[in-house]
Chain A
Amino acid sequence: MNGPIKLRVERLQARFGDHHVLRDVTLEVPASSVMAVIGPSGCGKSTFLRCLNRMHELVPGASSEGGVYLDGEDLYRRGVDPVLLRRRVGMVFQRPNPFPTMSIRDNVAAGLKLNGFRGRLDDVVERCLRQAALWDEVKDRLRAPATSLSGGQQQRLCIARALAVEPEVLLMDEPASALDPVATAKIEELMHELKERYTIVIVTHNMQQAARVSDRTAFFYMGELVEAGATEKIFTNPTEQRTEDYVTGKFG
């Protein structure tokens, strides 16, 4: 809210073939804050998130128009390499997806290794696992396969993996929806710490979660951004009737 604008989205349209899934979305995300994106299933939340690191265009038939600006730089301008962009805008997915053939350590180091990083990986691995609040649980078995971890640990491993390439923005697509309440609490706690250093955009189905973790909230409905503002305001005194109906549980 107070920091400089990190991400600015201007008149963003997204389509899958003829299906128009995002209409005219304009939105700003301040640096070092958490923005929650809420709305019923199929409202375009995930598509919106995937437009921010240009993962949307990887789906066959998908297209988008409009602008996404990171620190004022248009990400859709000609000459922007989406591969390099994705190192600045990291992503954590709905289901934990560690690389099953790699150890815990190699999963964290994967982004660096695959991008040809030559240096001391051990320091990076430790730093990222500490940041993801996983270090104490795995420090004695870094060589164990990533699949030997529990679901919640795997998701924190995926967060550590995303942090290792030192992104500026972290996109989280319902990161806790496949986890139990204890693991969810850990992820939420983690987000409070991470927002000191990163700008976070999180898609969530869980409105309590949005209220707990975010500074600002954006409500999407049927592909449109209905309302965005300070989380407190969205949940207690929204401007739009549709927002109020949704956050009070009248539909969705």
Chain B
Amino acid sequence: MKALVLRRAVNVAVTVACGAMVVFAVAPLGSLLWLVVSKGVAGLSLSFFTALPTPVGEPGGGVGNAILGTAMLVGLACLVGLPLGIGAGVFLAERGDGPFGRAVRFTAEVFSGVPSIVIGIVAYGIVVVAMRRFSMIAGALALALLMVPTLARSTEELVRLVPGTLREASLALGVPAWKTSLRVVLRTAAGGILTAVLLAIARAAGETAPLLFTSLNNQYWNVRPDQPTASLTVQIFNYAISPYEDWHQKAWSAALVLLLLVGSLNLLARLALRRSAAGGRA
């Protein structure tokens, strides 16, 4: 009986401790979210999503060009970063046991610890200096470089989780190994990889430092990859460090817009996945 009482006491204590940890971890996030929503919502209007920025003191204006810029930067970064990152991850999981694979894995791990501003300098050195111009493509490259290592490592872990019996089933049907990796193994891991991709996109969309001296900024609409481009994060940065009250308000609102964009992208992708794998594994 005594043992049982003790066990119950320990159970309650650990449950309470775990709950306290959760509150402790979530509270700052919650308060941050609340801060952004409460301060940002005041500046939101339809034109904030569609209009160009206005000079100080002029009412109205928005971050339409920055929304487009962030979308294009992240889109271009995905075009380069997703195939590279996911491809490297599949390689590491399926063929990465040799010395080359170990070297790639080690590089990816070191790479993911490099500060994002350093990645920005790399993109500056490779693209901006060569083109003699700040450009969207330079910013997108910096973001892609940021995505690749973490995406490769998480893809590797997810692909390794796919049971070997599925691989065998496919090989026993006379399917070549490369097709088995891509069409059976990768497809089975797709749900998890989508989560990894969404996290990578969210991280890339929220990066400021690597864009400061690559895509720079732009007061106007731009769709040309070889031109400087506005982005939400750099716009927020510029507004936030300015001494003007109405720009501070715009920084809060732009931050809220960024949160909304990343959040809704997340929801949409999850809905799409649930529909495509109806009844299957999530």
Contact = CB atoms under 8 A, between A and B. Distances in A.
Interface residues of B, number: 26
A95 B164 CA distance: 12
A53 B174 CA distance: 10
B175 interface: yes
B120 to A, nearest CB: 38
Interface stretch (B5-13, B218-226, B227-235, B273-281): B273-281
Interface string A82-104: 01111100110101011111000
Interface stretch (A22-30, A37-45, A158-166): A158-166
Contacts of B184: 99, 110, 114
A111 B173 contact: yes
Contacts of B166: 97, 99-100
A114 B170 contact: yes
Contact of B163 (A84, A97, A158): A97
Q: Per DSSP, are chain B's interface residues mostly helix, strand or loop, or mixed?
A: helix
Contacts of B245: none
B169 to A, nearest CB: 5
B187 A97 contact: no
Contacts of A184: none
B122 interface: no
Contacts of A101: 187-188, 190, 277, 280-281
Nearest to B279: A145
B51 interface: no
B45 to A, nearest CB: 44
B241 interface: no
Contact of B188 (A86, A100, A144): A100
Nearest to B176: A83
B37 interface: no
Nearest to B187: A101
B130 interface: no
A64 interface: no
Contact of A93 (B165, B176, B180): B165
Interface residues of A, number: 30
A147 interface: yes
A115 B179 CA distance: 9
B172 A147 contact: no
Contact of B279 (A98, A110, A148): A148
B193 to A, nearest CB: 12
Interface in B161-197: 163, 165-166, 168-177, 179-180, 183-184, 187-188, 190
Nearest to B166: A97
A55 interface: yes
A158 B169 contact: yes
B170 A110 contact: yes
B281 A147 contact: yes
23 contacts: A58-B171, A83-B174, A83-B175, A83-B176, A85-B174, A86-B174, A90-B173, A93-B165, A99-B169, A99-B187, A100-B188, A101-B187, A101-B281, A110-B173, A111-B174, A114-B175, A114-B180, A147-B280, A147-B281, A158-B169, A161-B173, A162-B172, A165-B173
Interface of B: 97, 163, 165-166, 168-177, 179-180, 183-184, 187-188, 190, 277-281
Given A83-B174, A86-B174, A111-B175, 19 more contacts: A55-B168, A55-B172, A58-B168, A83-B175, A85-B174, A86-B172, A87-B173, A90-B173, A91-B168, A101-B187, A101-B280, A111-B173, A111-B174, A114-B180, A115-B173, A115-B174, A145-B277, A148-B279, A161-B173
